[in-house]
């Protein structure tokens, strides 16, 4: 990732239930932002693993957001097939291009407790590498 250890661009948008979600509200947490789409096969297989990671680590300070450009109805229908407990966000608010101009799905952004982007293992690497990167960020203090 070309952007490493720089301030993560802030977003302010709503989830598929209409609740406002702001990256700035997550200060001091480790944030994993997953860019996904319902038509993306790798996204469909990755999301249950992301949900498991989130449920295991949320008490340690992990926040997971899924961002999709698809409409609310499409995302809600998808949740019936692949349920996840972390918030799925729309792009109806202010979502910077960094999170929107994705060439390959899924894409993951890791944000440390200081609000800075950190390198996330790519989709071609094992999920265990992502888990390890998340755990390392959770164990580090700002």
pTM over 0.85: yes
Reading the block at residue 20, the tokens are 């406002």
Rounded to an integer, what distance in angstroms lies between the CA atom of residue 20 and that of residue 99? 17
Mean pLDDT, rounded, for 10-17: 95
Walk me through the domains of the chain, giving residue ranges and CATH numbers. Answer: 12-139 (3.40.30.10)
Q: What is the pLDDT of residues 75-102, one digit of tens each?
A: 999 999 999 999 999 999 999 988 988 8
Q: Is the peptide bond before 3 cis (omega within 30 degrees of 0)?
A: no
Per-residue pLDDT at 1: 47
Out of 38-42, 51-55, 138-142, which region has the weakest mean confidence (pLDDT)? 138-142
């Amino acid at each position: 990732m070309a952007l490493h250890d720089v301030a993560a661009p802030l977003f302010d948008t709503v989830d598929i239930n209409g609740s406002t979600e702001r990256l700035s509200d997550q200060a001091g947490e480790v944030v994993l932002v997953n860019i996904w789409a319902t038509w993306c096969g790798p996204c469909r297989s990755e999301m249950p693993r992301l949900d498991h990671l989130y449920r295991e680590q949320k008490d340690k300070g992990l926040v997971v957001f899924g961002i999709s450009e698809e409409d609310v109805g499409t995302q809600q229908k998808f949740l019936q097939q692949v349920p996840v407990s972390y918030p799925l966000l729309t792009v109806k608010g202010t979502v910077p291009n960094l999170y929107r101009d994705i060439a390959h799905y899924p894409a993951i952004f890791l944000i440390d407790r200081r609000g800075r982007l950190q390198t996330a293992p790519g989709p071609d690497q094992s999920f265990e590498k992502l888990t390890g990167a998340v755990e390392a960020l959770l164990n580090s203090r700002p």
